[in-house]
Amino acid sequence: MSPDSQVSMNVVLVVGVIFSALLGVVLYMRRKMNESGNILSGSNIENLQGKIIVVTGGSNGIGKALVSELAGAGAKVVNGSRRLSELRTGPHPNVSTQNEKSERLSDNIHLDLSSFKSIETFFKEIIQKYGYIDILINNAACMGPKRTSDDNIDYCFQVNYLGHFFLSKLFINNHLKNENRTNQRLTIINLASNVFDMGSFISDNDITSLTNQNAANYTLLNGYANSKLCMILFSTELDRRYRHRGIQTIAVHPGYVKTGLQKHYPGLVGVILRCVASKLFRTPEEAVKGILFCCVREDKAALCGKVLFDGRLMEKWYIETNKELRSQKKAIMLWELSEKILESSKIASTDI
């Protein structure tokens, strides 16, 4: 073999080894990122039998998988969705037993979180039908488009956070009115995300700093991150205010999941996000295990007011290092500002 071909052989060999090593690392990371392990082992999923559970945004992604799992476990699931016409088109031709169960036990009610009026109507219909609920899962979210809601608020901020704040307050008030009669507990699970780390309050007094679409640094990603930071601050403050009244609040990061969340993200960043998601992220079925864990866990005291990922507390990794999340002052400020916005809106009254 000539020295030249020997060199080319070595180059090919080195490139091959580097490529294989990189592929191995990617596949290993993919497996590590996606496996949630057997976190439900030992949990009694049958505990959910007959429970009334509300899931927002249950027609796609994580919410859809959640509705199916919960209904499969025998819960009565209310799916708050904008897509009722699609959901009522009858069973899929290849339904599995699980899906048939879900078809039988889930109740689809119209909900558009970008409208306070729609949220109020959704709540009233549920109370009229069921009287109370056991678990509220604030799951729905969007990452764009960049626009304002029906109530003239940043769309993403309202759908992801403020609409859920309003809906939760309605269920909390209903729970408090009945607490002496029913001795019932209410669990509220808020879908968070570890991108909250990219969110921040710019000014202490100005909520528009969270939502200001005209700010030079406003992007769909930081609008989304801010809304998720709000969901975590909301969870900790809700827990502080109402744990002693029988309300259990837990925030959950579901991991990176292959869903339609990035579908509105524009430009090259959007293309890259969707490509990475489709190749590397976990499936919704894998992601829901961490949420189911919070639903079935009987003793929730150690989880309340915390953020969980796959059944484990996230405090050590993120929360303790994030100054926004360590600040109770910010959580109180957000709560009060959110109430102020609801009060100033003509439609939104939480005292129903």
Ligand X SMILES: NC(=O)c1ccc[n+]([C@@H]2O[C@H](COP(=O)([O-])OP(=O)(O)OC[C@H]3O[C@@H](n4cnc5c(N)ncnc54)[C@H](OP(=O)(O)O)[C@@H]3O)[C@@H](O)[C@H]2O)c1
Q: What residue ranges bind ligand X (CB under 6 A)? A: 56-57, 59-63, 82-83, 111-114, 139-142, 159, 191, 193, 253-254, 256-257, 259-261, 281
Nearer to ligand X by Cβ, of 75 and 261: the residue is 261
Task: Write down the residue that tokens 């430009």 correspond to.
Answer: 267
What's the closest the beta carbon of residue 182 comes to ligand X, in angstroms? 28
Residue in 108, 134, 125 with CA at minimum distance from that of residue 50: 134
What's the closest the beta carbon of residue 53 comes to ligand X, in angstroms? 16
Mention every residue, 6+ apart, whose C-beta is less than 8 A from residue 37.
Answer: 310
What residues form DSSP beta bridges with 253? 309
**Tokens, residue 285:** 């079925």
Nearer to ligand X by Cβ, of 287 and 332: the residue is 287
**Nearest-angstrom CA–CA distance, 80 and 59:** 8
What's the closest the beta carbon of residue 160 comes to ligand X, in angstroms? 6
Strands (E) located in the chain: 52-56, 76-81, 106-110, 135-138, 186-191, 247-253, 307-309, 312-313
What does 203-233 look like in DSSP terms, one character per residue?
A: SSS-THHHH-TTSTT--HHHHHHHHHHHHHH
Nearer to ligand X by Cβ, of 241 and 264: the residue is 264
Nearer to ligand X by Cβ, of 153 and 261: the residue is 261
Nearer to ligand X by Cβ, of 114 and 248: the residue is 114
What's the closest the beta carbon of residue 271 comes to ligand X, in angstroms? 16
Indicate the residue whose CB is closest to ligand X: 61
Nearer to ligand X by Cβ, of 164 and 175: the residue is 164
What's the closest the beta carbon of residue 115 comes to ligand X, in angstroms? 8
| Phi, psi (degrees; rounded to nearest 5) at 187 | -110, 130
Strands 52-56, 186-191: parallel, antiparallel or unpaired by DSSP? unpaired
What's the closest the beta carbon of residue 66 comes to ligand X, in angstroms? 9
